[in-house]
Structure 1
Amino acid sequence: MDDLCAECGFRYDLTDAPAAAEDIRRLAGEVATVLRTPGHRLAERRAPELWSPLEYGCHLRDVFLVQRERVLQARRDNGFTCVTMGRDIRVEHEGYAEQDPADVARQLTDAALLFGNVLDRLGEDWDNEMVYSWPEPHRASLRWVAVHTVHEARHHRHDIRGQLGESAS
């Protein structure tokens, strides 16, 4: 996998893993602030192939919850194979576009706190691994999972800001 995301400028650096919990909490807070801002048409898709800002917020919430469970399982069962989270079908199955933005903002920050707590407590388990399903099945350390989740948060904050016509940096 390339270590630089051409879309958002994120560079994967596994030495950043110990700071991931704080980065995730901060980025979740930034997205939650957008979801609480009156006047935005948060459920509106700007193009059919793009999720709405609200849908991205729901996705990010679910990413934090799924990653939390994956990390906890990797601590119990080093090397397990995780299953896909079904990201695209969740949009419909969970009715992302119909959810209340204020509820999603609260749930997003709570999910970031829960996941951050797990990362903060990894101790000697940072090098535990799982077989991760994205972009293709591969062995991934918990360091990579933490850094990848920061990328998810930063990338989707970028997506949301771009759709709302805000600075996407």
Structure 2
Amino acid sequence: MEPDTKDWTWVLELPCPDCGFDAGAVRPDDVGRLVTAFTEPWWQVLQRSDARTRPEPAVWSALEYACHVRDVCRLFEERTRLMLEQDAPTFDNWDQDVTAVEGRYGEQDPSTVAAELSAAAESYARGYDTVTEPEWARTGLRSNGSEFTVLTLAQYGLHDLRHHLHDVGASPAG
């Protein structure tokens, strides 16, 4: 599979033409609720008989996307925590394609992934419950120098969660 080298930070300024999500319009009070809405449908997606099947050789299966979404929840929770605990931390580079290969995404058990994704999403969503108004503006840096605030990182992460539901033909909960 070709690695995705596209810089997706543009989704903070424009609605995504594929999934329709307007990440930049998300308010702090909506973040936790949207994490939940964009992750709950994975239980049903992973029960599909073709969850392990790639629709095309270069397109992840629903199972592989679910593993990625689980890991996005974990990673973004960790990065948010770093931003709240440290002044302007720099995040390590994360290569999602290497993670998928090394984690053998396509060989994982769908039921286990569903449970892990649910737990990761719940923890990620809960992490926003205690963010205070001034903390939403705290910053962190991606390894390429892109600066995020707690809010823009949340918005960016929410787009990822929403977009992958679109990739597998599922709709948000609620």
Shorter-chain TM-score bucket reads: 0.7 to 0.9
| 2:65/2:164 contact within 8 Å kept | yes
Distance 1:167 1:144 in 2: 23
Question: CA RMSD for the aligned pairs?
Answer: 1.8
Pairs aligned (count): 160
TM-score by length of 2: 0.85
Describe the superposition over 1:34-73 as per-residue Cα deviations: whole angstroms up to 9, x where unpaired. Answer: 11x24x2111111122111000000000000000110111
Distance 1:167 1:79 in 2: 35
Query: Which residue of 146, 154, 157 maps to 1:149?
Result: 157
- Runs of 4+ in structure 1 over 6 Å off: none
| Corresponding residue of 2:139 | 129
Task: State the shift of 1:167 in Å.
Answer: 7.2
| Corresponding residue of 2:20 | 9
* Percent of pairs with identical residues: 27
| 2:52/2:61 contact within 8 Å kept | yes
Long gaps (5+) in structure 1: none
SS at the partner of 2:27? helix
Task: State the shift of 1:93 in Å.
Answer: 0.4
Within a 5 Å distance, the mapping from 1:2-151 to structure 2 comes to 2-35=13-46, 37-38=47-48, 40-123=49-132, 124-133=134-143, 137-151=145-159
> Against the structure 1 CA distance between its residues 93 and 47, is the aligned structure 2 distance closer, same or farther, given a 3 Å change threshold?
same
Long gaps (5+) in structure 2: 1-9
| Corresponding residue of 2:5 | none
